[in-house]
Amino acid sequence: MTEQSMDASLDASRSAASLELAERILANAEDRAIHQRLEDGLQRVEDGLREQLRFTNPIADAAGRYLMEAGGKRVRPLLTLLVSELGSGPNEQVIKAAQTVEITHLASLYHDDVMDEAGLRRGVASAHLVWGNSVAILAGDLLFARASRIISALGERAIALQADTFERLCLGQLAETVGPQPGDDETAFYLQVLADKTGSLIAAAARLGAIFGGAPEEQVVAVGRFGERVGVAFQIVDDVIDLSPHADRTGKRAGTDIRAGVRTLPMLHLLSAAQEDPAAEELADRILRGVAAETAAHEEGQSEPSAELDTAIAELAAHPATARARQDAARWSADAVAALDPLPDGQVKEALIRFAHEIVDRHA
Dihedral angle of Cα 87, 90, 93, 97, to the nearest 10 degrees: 100
**Least confident residue range of 69-78, 156-165, 268-277:** 69-78
Residue 73 confidence (pLDDT):
80
Show the domains of the chain with their CATH numbers. 3-361 (1.10.600.10)
**Least confident residue range of 28-37, 173-182, 278-287:** 28-37
Q: How far is 351 from 283, CA to CA, in rounded Å?
A: 41
pTM attached to this predicted model: 0.88
DSSP class of residue 29 equals G
Residue 64 confidence (pLDDT):
86
The pLDDT tens digits of the residues spanning 244-267 come to 887 666 566 788 889 888 899 999
H runs (alpha helix) in the chain: 3-25, 32-52, 58-70, 75-84, 92-116, 127-131, 133-152, 156-178, 186-194, 200-213, 217-241, 247-250, 256-259, 265-273, 278-299, 307-317, 320-338, 347-361
Residue 185 zone, left/alpha/beta (φ > 0; ψ -120 to 50; rest): beta
**pLDDT of 13 over the 70 cut:** no
Arithmetic mean of pLDDT over the chain? 88
Q: How far is 40 from 54, CA to CA, in rounded Å?
A: 22
Measured N-to-C along each axis, helices 75-84 and 32-52 cross at an angle, to the nearest 10 degrees, of 130
Please tell me whether residue 86 adopts helix, strand or coil conformation.
coil
Contacts of 358 (CB under 8 A, 6+ apart): 21, 24, 25
> What is the average per-residue pLDDT within 303-330?
91
Contacts of 338 (CB under 8 A, 6+ apart): none
Q: How far is 319 from 4, CA to CA, in rounded Å?
A: 48
Residue 124: its H or E element = strand 124-125
Q: How far is 215 from 229, CA to CA, in rounded Å?
A: 20
The pLDDT tens digits of the residues spanning 112-169 come to 888 877 766 766 878 888 888 899 999 999 999 999 999 999 999 999 999 999 999 9
Residue 294 confidence (pLDDT):
86
Q: How far is 95 from 80, CA to CA, in rounded Å?
A: 8
> What is the average per-residue pLDDT within 38-56?
92
Residue 359 confidence (pLDDT):
86
Percent of the chain surpassing pLDDT 70: 89
Residue 180 confidence (pLDDT):
92
